[in-house]
Amino acid sequence: MTPSPLMTDDASDAAAPAEPGHVSARTSPALAVLRTESLRGIAPWTFAVCLAALMIAVFGGHDRHRTDWPAMAQSLRTLHILLGPLVASAACWEAGRERRRHTAEWAGSTPRPVLHRLTAGLLPVWLAAVAAYFVTWAVMTALTWPNASAYGHPQLGPVIADLAAIAAFAAGGHLLGRYVPWWPLAPVVAVAGYAALAPWNAPASGGLAQLLPVSFGIRDGQESALWANAAHTAWFAGLAAAMLLAAGARRKWLVALPLAVAVAGAVPLLQQPGKVWVYDRAAADLVCEGERPQICMRRAHEGMRERVAGPVRWAYGLTAGAPGAPARFEERAPGGRSAAGPDAVEVRIVHRGDLGSDRRLDYFQRDAVLQSLLAWDCRSERIRPEWSHEVLLWAHSQWPGAMDDRLLDTPVVQALDAMSRTERAAWFTDWFAAARSCDPDRVTRP
């Protein structure tokens, strides 16, 4: 007889059946498919392209989103004009993958429901776009924090609505790609999306504008109401779910459920468009510092005080000593009036991108202060003296290197330069009196 082989410890372990716990610890098939699609499909390219487009928009345009948290939330919504068509195009391309690979019949013969296959193709694209959105949100939060940390906090309500809007873009593109068998459809969807959204600048006060997944412009001093964030989320998420169920659900009547949610969100937006954006009264309150000059900034913009403080102190020093020289400089809320009467000078924050101020931001900030300080509050521009613009040139010339010397060779500039400090203060007393009364005869040409 042949001797039976000895059973060692290692052999007994190999022959023993696997414990049930090892099977349950394995990744589920759904998560494995999602991981594969997210790492090897079109999702990585979607993330890269969307993030590149968003970063170009953030760093290449205006910096209004750095003013306060509501401005940042509104800026993120405006970026959907770039993100939305890209997501729809990527989802459209993903939906036609089985048709391009001639595997549609094989996929249809599997026991997996159609809705599962649609979700497996759509979810990675949406997650890639969401990842690009959150990276952009983090970058914009870091840029806004130094200016806005003094008041408020990042707003999460608009973020949830934005994620639902991205889902609506993705579902719409996926639906087109599934039912239109044309391979160039994906780039056409992107171009058509830009062509439809870019010129469609619906009036912000209308209800139709509230149903768009894109916001045009920034409403200064306003933030979205809590009910409006919930309504936007219901509207966009309901549309996305309805399109997904319309393409993959066996029981088509289920589409009525998300459609009902979408309608429930759309009705209040259409009925109360004027209440979607509300003023933050506390953010508009003025916080003042100093005495001569006194600089008053909106509470929401206290973090940007230093941007205007330097030009204000310098401008005030040019006319210091004149009895009628304004000593209060304030940033006013949109449509608001001065709390200190006509003697207060209105100042505004100049942003990167305003009036070509990318390279000369400091100059345009000084110019904004001087324009307000030396302004004539008259209904007709003809009341101002013809040589009044030369006074502005002289003021700019006092900043070293601010103007080209050839522009300063004017009689008024030379005359103001020749005056002593006492003479100049007396002349500016007449200037401010004439400007307030709109009477040019009260000031003589220097």
Q: What does the pLDDT profile of the chain (446 residues) look like in tens digits?
A: 444 444 444 444 444 444 444 444 455 655 655 566 556 778 899 999 999 999 999 998 788 888 899 999 999 998 999 999 999 999 998 887 766 554 555 445 455 566 677 777 788 899 999 999 999 999 999 999 999 988 989 999 999 999 999 999 999 998 888 888 777 888 999 998 888 876 655 555 677 788 888 877 788 888 999 999 999 999 999 999 999 888 777 787 888 999 999 999 999 999 998 899 898 888 988 999 988 899 999 999 998 898 899 999 999 999 877 888 888 999 987 755 555 555 788 898 888 877 767 768 888 888 899 999 998 877 766 778 888 888 988 998 888 665 555 566 788 888 898 888 889 999 999 999 888 888 888 888 98
**Cβ–Cβ under 8 Å, residues 376 and 442:** no
Pairing of strands 286-289, 294-298: antiparallel
DSSP state of 254: G
SS3 per residue for 282-300: HHHCEEEECCCCEEEEEHH
Residue 162: count other Cβ atoms within 10 Å of its Cβ.
25
Name the amino acid, one letter, at 282. A
Kind and range of the H or E run holding 417: helix 411-418
SS3 per residue for 189-239: HHHHHHHHHCCCCCCCCCHHHHHCCCCCCCCCCEEECHHHHHHHHHHHHHH
Q: Report the predicted TM-score, pTM, of the whole model to 2 decimal places.
A: 0.82
